[in-house]
Structure 1
Amino acid sequence: MESDPSDTESRPMLEPQKVPDDTVLIIGGGPVGLMTASVLAYFGVRSIVLERNAEPTRWPKMDLTNARSMELLRKIGLADQLRELGVPSNIPYTVLMSTGLSQDSAFASWDHPSVDQYRQNIESANDGSQPAEPYLRVSQNIFETWMRDLCQENPLIDLKYGFKLESIQELEQEARCTVVEIGQGEHEYISNYVIACDGASSRCRKFLDIGLDGGPTEASFLLVHFKSHDLEHLHKQGRFWHLFMFANGTFGGAVISQNEKDIFTIHYPLLNGVDESSISSEDAIYTVLGGLHEPYKIKIDEVLVRSTFRPSIAVANSFASPELHLFLAGDAAHQNIPTGGYGMNTGLGDAFDIGWKLAAVINGHAQKGLLRTYETERKPIAYQNVQRSGVHMGVHLKAVALLDDRPELIESSSPEGIGLRKKLFQHYKDNDGENKDMGIEMGYLYDSPVCLPDSTGTKPNWEPRRYLPSTWPGSRAPHIILSDNSSIFDHLGPFFTLVEFQDREAENSRGRWLVTAANALKIPLEHAQLRGEALAARVWERPLVLVRPDGHVAWRGDHVDTLSQASGILEAVLGYYC
């Protein structure tokens, strides 16, 4: 953790830099750091992003931006741009389970809809159970490059490359970061607010002595990212997004189609004691594709990059420093195994939560106590998502157990072989929540002091498998297509929005006191008055619903009777009493 003294002496210490009070310092310019900067900029707040690497990652890593993340990107006006970079919207997201591409067919599949079909499902259901945006397959290297370009063009974001964090210290009134500008010298940045988005091995977390609950798993993998146009052989069992392979008594690895054209990634399981350098990239690819059988050779155009990966399941003990000058986000705060795609998507949720809250405090709309609720809200979600990723991995491990005694039976035409195939098929049919558990993706509920409970209602039950639409405070407000074919989300303002449902003949506003109080407190509040929207009114459950910038409900009720009551509600949801 300590730097080499001789190395420190050889570098000149440049003048300390005081970050302006209206500017946030972000350590790490990966997807979560860039998303945080973009959210701050959306709310008019400047940021400085310090990133060590001059080039974006070459690795695809995350390959699915889930529906909730797409909603958050939509909020800041970026969803449509990202869709132009993803997999074409007409291609289904099929997952295959196979014992090897030498066989005629996979033994099970999950048939996730294409984006086009997903949109049709959203429009046809329109009962509050669907997201406003379908998911999107796009590799992290594409996502990160795109976000870098956007941030470089944004006048509110100062993106600096070649800066490596050396140390960080929190004082009562500020945080002090020592960073090395590669090839130049050391800088000291003094900032009111720092957001650490510096990955799983976060130096920020270590210097603040914040421990982790959990750690690395026993499994490790060799990842090979390659290009191949040999689709005749790769698609022998059908076009796929993910292809899970099974070998003799073990999980045989996975193949990911990154762009539905020519770029793929394999995850090759490494046995204990095996030196990955002794395995050629080509042999690793052939072995994974072979599954239970002999290596399956394809034509490889180019090996793009390879590395080893050891999954970790961990959550930081704290997401914020004691004086609320530094906050952890993304992998610095939590790490999970890839199944379910919760890693970066959880990080994007972190970015939006801390982004809007810091902007509210810096812009003078909220009290600093609001920042305490970042950990209160996001830490339980991190635990929830980490646990669920393990549940999804357990589905594949159960399949390994079903194959374990006599894996060759799966290819047999004997009654035992037919029975085993039926058992595996049913197993995957009954346990298909990976990338489908909408309760995890959209149904999480913030149990937070700035989400005021409804004394007249009952807190809804939570199910990981499905999203149950509710406006219980803390919930994500449901998406509904209104009678004019607009999304109810399009009627929400940038900051807080009071949604009021009215009969067509209603003359008086039930929300007038909240609007008056917001004006008196100088809080930007959109007042969305929706007349004659019976479906939306029924799904949203109350005539008055106060929605936060992140789309979660802060308060709901039937009426507000006095200016004092209205002021109390707004002060509570903006951290005055935290």
Structure 2
Amino acid sequence: MDVKSENIHTLPDDCVLIAGGGPVGLVTATVLAHHGVRSVVFERNVTTTKWPKMDLTNVRSMELFKRLELADELRTHGVPSHMPYTVLMTTGLASDGPITKWEHPSVEEFRKRIELTNDGTQPREPYQRISQSVFEAWMKTKCEEHPLVELRFGWKLETIKESPDGVEATIIETGTGQKHLFKSKYVVGCDGASSKARRSLEIPLDGGPTPVSFLLVHFKSSDLARLHKQGRFWHLFILLDGTFGGACICQDEKEIFTIHFTLAPGVDPATITSEEAIAKLFGGLDGPYKIKVDEILVRSTYQPSIAVARHFAGPELRIFLAGDAAHQNVPTGGYGMNTGLGDAFDIGWKLAAVINGYGKRGLLRSYEQERRPVALINVERSGVHMATHMQAVELLKGHAAEVGKQSKEGREVKGAIHKHYQEHDGENTDFGIEMGYRYSSVVCIPDGPGEKAPDWDPHTYVPTSMPGSRPPHVFLKDGSSIFDRLGKDFSLVDFGHADSTSERLISAARQLNVPLKHIRLPGEDHAEELWEKPLVLVRPDGHVSWRGESLPDEATARLIMETAVGYHDKMNEETPQKSDVPVQFTMTEGMSTQVEDYKLQNMGEFQQ
């Protein structure tokens, strides 16, 4: 079908087309607007999701929202700050009690820990529980209020074509079926696991399905006494004899819950009512445990996948993939949306820098170089967390009858499961994963010879300001946060020992029209010790571009600033990427290159 001439549109050069109005698309638009760049967001659905999907905005995402001055407002829509984040592992609510638990601090408790532990290991912001359905609705409102963001819900991307000069996107207005052609300089594809942007670019998706499928039921219940019989919980994991029963998430600490009920192989989910699934899950080993269900909100079946796109950008660096379009994972660990938010911040500031005139092609090249390795680690880690539960099931296998008794065998099995979970407690607390990722790309200026990178720990954030890293958070002598001193664009943190070098960098930034805030912190010995160098150049996303003690001349200073904003794209040849090599992840069944090859027919919208 040809496109009518009146339906051919050319966006201004300073306007980015965003395909997908979920959390990643909306945050991408917000980041662009934060840096003064316009965008148009096309979303196939007529409104935001009614599905719960994610339920935790992690510590790094909250730090990034703090940079957008949105963290405090976000918290007003989430679970109250005094509520604990307790995770229970049990064989069923009819049993005497949970086998073990993870007791994560509330936001208030976490904030006190941050204030008291000023050693650089802590985040600037605690995490925040908030359902994606609530999060998306809030973000949509924020975008509607911003003059630089235009939202078009009920418009879906059909195909997209990239050229050296720009992009042509075919988009259908779902209400009328009319086809439109939009021409733009840049597109960010945030259009989900079955991404039309990714398919149009013919980018393979490596990975595969996990060996389990779930029935998701999102419901309301005021029967809190029975639901919290074993104690108030955020997450509840049910272990069965030889299989993982599933999980329940308390979404709002009031009345909204979500279960993920494991489907046995060959079982038709249509034969199980939502109420039956809820009772079976909560009953665990002891048979159905009924609660009063006030309302079924939504239900769906899904088979989680663990996969990463082979590339995150088109060959012409005009189209970029973010969120589920680029990577998918199982829910354990909460890496899905949070990894996508990291994508949004990265591509958002880089596109803004290019459109605003001071960023060059190397910035666009660096997006895949930086974000794909993070996605590979996070996606793999989600499988590791899921494997933790499956390993606990193996410990229970064949001993289920004894667990409910006070026998020696039962106590030994429960003790083994308790020990296992306490030794593998990284789900939602692997801060090395969340805060400790270190970029390596054409826009990161590495340390000189002899500088050794500190060891990396997936569970614990190791403070470092090495180029590519998120530097340590620390409170200064006056009680203020060093992160709060950083500017919106580039920042030069100067501990006061290298005036000539700082002046050279400031002069180079001025010559290149790079917006740079000079932050002098003389006498801040504790912060300087944690930041490791007297001069640290920090990017708009809070990662380090360069650090050092001195520079020999103006030419070297200019080279550093040029590299930081993408002038030297060819440097990537010295550090070739290995993204053409297929990978396989923990908990996957074989390999696949397209989502349709393994998604359930009845999966609804949960992973769309």
Residue 482 of structure 2 corresponds to 488
Deviation for aligned residue 1:518? 1.0
Indicate which of 168, 181, 185 corresponds to 1:176: 168
Residue 179 of structure 2 corresponds to 186
Q: CA separation in 2, counterparts of 1:87 and 1:226?
A: 17
Equivalent pair of 1:14/1:186 in contact (CA under 8 Å)? no
Residue 424 of structure 1 corresponds to 417
Deviation for aligned residue 1:417? 1.0
Deviation for aligned residue 1:186? 1.1
Indicate which of 12, 17, 20 corresponds to 1:20: 12
Residue 573 of structure 2 corresponds to none
Indicate which of 453, 469, 479 corresponds to 2:473: 479
Indicate which of 320, 324, 327 corresponds to 2:320: 327
Matched letter for residue 490 of structure 2: F
Residue 151 of structure 1 corresponds to 143
- Is the partner of 1:531 in helix, strand or coil? coil
Residue 122 of structure 1 corresponds to 114
Residue 43 of structure 2 corresponds to 51
Deviates more, 1:183-192 or 1:344-353: 183-192
Residue 387 of structure 1 corresponds to 380
Indicate which of 426, 431, 435 corresponds to 1:438: 431
Residue 4 of structure 1 corresponds to none
Residue 157 of structure 2 corresponds to 165
Q: CA separation in 1, counterparts of 2:262 and 2:182?
A: 42
Residue 560 of structure 1 corresponds to 551
Q: CA separation in 1, counterparts of 2:75 and 2:313?
A: 33
Deviations 1:221-258 (A, max 9, x none): 11000000111000100000000001232101100000
Aligned positions of 1:227-242 closer than 5 A: 227-242=220-235
Q: CA separation in 2, counterparts of 1:229 and 1:464?
A: 39
- Is the partner of 2:277 in helix, strand or coil? helix
Q: CA separation in 1, counterparts of 2:560 and 2:106?
A: 42
Deviates more, 1:274-283 or 1:510-519: 510-519
- Is the partner of 1:291 in helix, strand or coil? helix
Matched letter for residue 48 of structure 1: V
Equivalent pair of 1:247/1:293 in contact (CA under 8 Å)? no
Matched letter for residue 153 of structure 2: Y
Deviation for aligned residue 1:510? 4.0
Please report the TM-score for the alignment, with normalisation by the length of structure 1: 0.97
Q: CA separation in 1, counterparts of 2:71 and 2:416?
A: 40
- Is the partner of 2:493 in helix, strand or coil? strand
Matched letter for residue 498 of structure 1: L
Equivalent pair of 1:225/1:266 in contact (CA under 8 Å)? yes
Q: Which runs of 5+ in 2 are unaligned?
A: 570-608
Equivalent pair of 2:84/2:106 in contact (CA under 8 Å)? yes
Please report the TM-score for the alignment, with normalisation by the length of structure 2: 0.92
Q: CA separation in 2, counterparts of 1:516 and 1:285?
A: 64
Equivalent pair of 1:499/1:544 in contact (CA under 8 Å)? yes
Q: CA separation in 1, counterparts of 2:347 and 2:512?
A: 22
Aligned positions of 1:339-350 closer than 5 A: 339-350=332-343
- Is the partner of 1:144 in helix, strand or coil? helix
Equivalent pair of 1:14/1:188 in contact (CA under 8 Å)? no
Residue 262 of structure 2 corresponds to 269
Matched letter for residue 441 of structure 1: E
- Is the partner of 2:392 in helix, strand or coil? helix
- Is the partner of 1:549 in helix, strand or coil? coil
Matched letter for residue 493 of structure 2: V
Q: CA separation in 1, counterparts of 2:316 and 2:559?
A: 26
Deviations 1:401-441 (A, max 9, x none): 00111212211211111111111111111110111111000
Residue 290 of structure 1 corresponds to 283
Deviation for aligned residue 1:496? 0.5
Percent identical among aligned pairs is 58
Residue 451 of structure 2 corresponds to 457
Deviation for aligned residue 1:13? 6.2
- Is the partner of 1:364 in helix, strand or coil? coil
Deviation for aligned residue 1:119? 0.4
Q: CA separation in 1, counterparts of 2:251 and 2:302?
A: 18
Q: CA separation in 2, counterparts of 1:117 and 1:322?
A: 47
Question: Alignment RMSD, CA only?
Answer: 1.2
Equivalent pair of 2:504/2:557 in contact (CA under 8 Å)? yes
Residue 202 of structure 1 corresponds to 195
Runs of 4+ in 1 over 4 A off after TM superposition: none
Residue 75 of structure 2 corresponds to 83
Indicate which of 26, 46, 66 corresponds to 2:58: 66
Equivalent pair of 1:252/1:292 in contact (CA under 8 Å)? no
Q: CA separation in 1, counterparts of 2:256 and 2:133?
A: 12
Equivalent pair of 2:399/2:410 in contact (CA under 8 Å)? no
Equivalent pair of 2:362/2:442 in contact (CA under 8 Å)? no
